[in-house]
């Protein structure tokens, strides 16, 4: 009787150990988490959709979403390993790579999707921005580069206007209060200003540079090297979510409006000015190189970056 009791205890103990091991293993597997940086922009609609529809969990991992004020701050965070990947404007990513930051572009996110709003109809063209105060996002941004590109195309230098850093969600208020004469921002804040009647639309970024590259998915190199399969899964979801955004515009506008705190009609209108893509075709890479060359000519980049330094599309 005593022998049976001890055997029972041993068997029970082994069973408990096995259950704890299996539970612990399951917990570790189910708690794999990717930390993702993003900006308050409908350019990140694929990320918002993937989160809202539970697409990441279906692939067996979680995502912790971290908002940033600017792309510059996000790239710095990626270089320091504070985030694994980020939905970020291309310009600050290129600037970071040029500085030696350990990040790569692993997928496109969108083309176009920005615009210039002005205080009143006295500013009717790019040349009328001469001598004006124009709000641009903090740090270096694609919007900043597009504004300079516009002025150069109209034979004006960067000294012809004064740009001032303003967080994008606050730009419309700056315009209403006469703190600035104009602003260039990403959607949905262009549509919000226009549809509320607070400003006049000067032009969309598609009028400045059709099909220009805008936001990309970047990843820090350590994450790429240590977690290639997780990155592959993440980009699989990114591609699926991008397709969903393209084919479910009404539901996307609802989710974006809830995420960014804007009216659904504003979100719906703004999405028509953004071209979503997860495919790095030859035109995309050509335009990225064009942007990098322009930034180099302005002194924003010290080096002529190569494709190998910028891109890593091996996980798409």
Place of tokens 């699926």: 240
Going by the DSSP 8-state scheme, the letter that residue 46 receives in this structure is H
Write down the pLDDT at residue 127: 87
57 shares its domain with 119: no
181 shares its domain with 257: no
234 shares its domain with 197: no
Domain contains 316: no
d(CA 279, CA 11): 56
Residue scoring higher pLDDT (280 or 13): 280
Residue scoring higher pLDDT (195 or 4): 195
pLDDT of 152-174, one tens digit each?
Answer: 998 887 677 899 999 999 999 99
Task: Name 273's Cβ contacts closer than 8 Å, sequence gap at least 6.
Answer: 112, 113, 115, 187, 190, 191, 204, 206
Write down the pLDDT at residue 31: 52
189 shares its domain with 254: no
Q: Which of 208, 225, 250 represents a domain boundary (last residue)?
A: 208
106 shares its domain with 124: no
* Helix, strand, coil share of the chain (percent; to 5): 55, 20, 30
Pairing of strands 133-136, 182-186: parallel
**3-class DSSP state for residue 294?**
helix
State the total domains in the chain. 2
Q: Which of 147, 180, 208 represents a domain boundary (last residue)?
A: 208
Q: Which of 189, 208, 227 represents a domain boundary (last residue)?
A: 208
Write down the mean pLDDT value for the chain: 90
CATH no. for residue 124?
3.40.190.10
Confidence of residue 122 (pLDDT cuts 50, 70, 90): confident
Residue 18 has pLDDT above 60, yes or no: no
């Amino acid at each position: 009787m005593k022998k049976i009791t001890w055997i029972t205890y041993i068997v029970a103990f082994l069973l408990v150990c096995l259950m704890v091991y299996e539970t612990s293993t399951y917990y570790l597997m189910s708690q794999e988490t990717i930390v993702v940086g993003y900006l308050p922009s409908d350019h990140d609609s694929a990320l918002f959709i993937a989160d809202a529809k539970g697409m990441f969990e279906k692939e067996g991992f979680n995502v912790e979403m971290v908002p940033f004020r600017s792309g510059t701050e996000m790239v710095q965070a990626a270089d320091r390993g504070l985030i694994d990947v980020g939905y970020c404007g291309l310009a600050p990513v290129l600037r970071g790579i040029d500085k030696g930051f350990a990040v790569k572009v692993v997928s496109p996110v969108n083309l176009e999707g920005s615009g210039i709003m002005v205080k009143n109809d006295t500013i009717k063209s790019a040349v009328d921005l001469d001598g004006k105060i124009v709000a641009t996002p903090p740090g270096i941004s694609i919007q900043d580069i597009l504004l300079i590109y516009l002025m150069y195309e109209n034979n004006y230098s960067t000294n012809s206007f004064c740009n001032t850093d303003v967080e994008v969600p606050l730009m419309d208020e700056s315009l209403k209060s006469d703190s600035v004469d104009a602003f260039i921002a990403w959607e949905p804040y262009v549509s919000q200003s226009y549809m509320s009647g607070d400003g006049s639309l000067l032009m969309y970024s598609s009028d400045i540079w059709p099909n220009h590259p805008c936001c990309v998915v970047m990843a820090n190199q350590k994450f790429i090297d240590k977690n290639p399969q997780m990155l592959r899964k993440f980009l699989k979801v990114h591609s699926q979510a991008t397709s969903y955004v393209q084919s479910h515009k009404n539901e996307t506008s609802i989710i974006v409006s809830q995420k960014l705190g804007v009216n659904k009609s504003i979100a719906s209108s703004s999405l028509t000015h953004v071209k979503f893509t997860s495919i790095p075709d030859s035109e995309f890479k050509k335009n990225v190189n064009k942007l990098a060359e322009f930034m180099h000519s302005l002194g924003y980049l010290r080096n002529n970056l190569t494709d190998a330094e910028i891109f890593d599309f091996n996980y798409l």
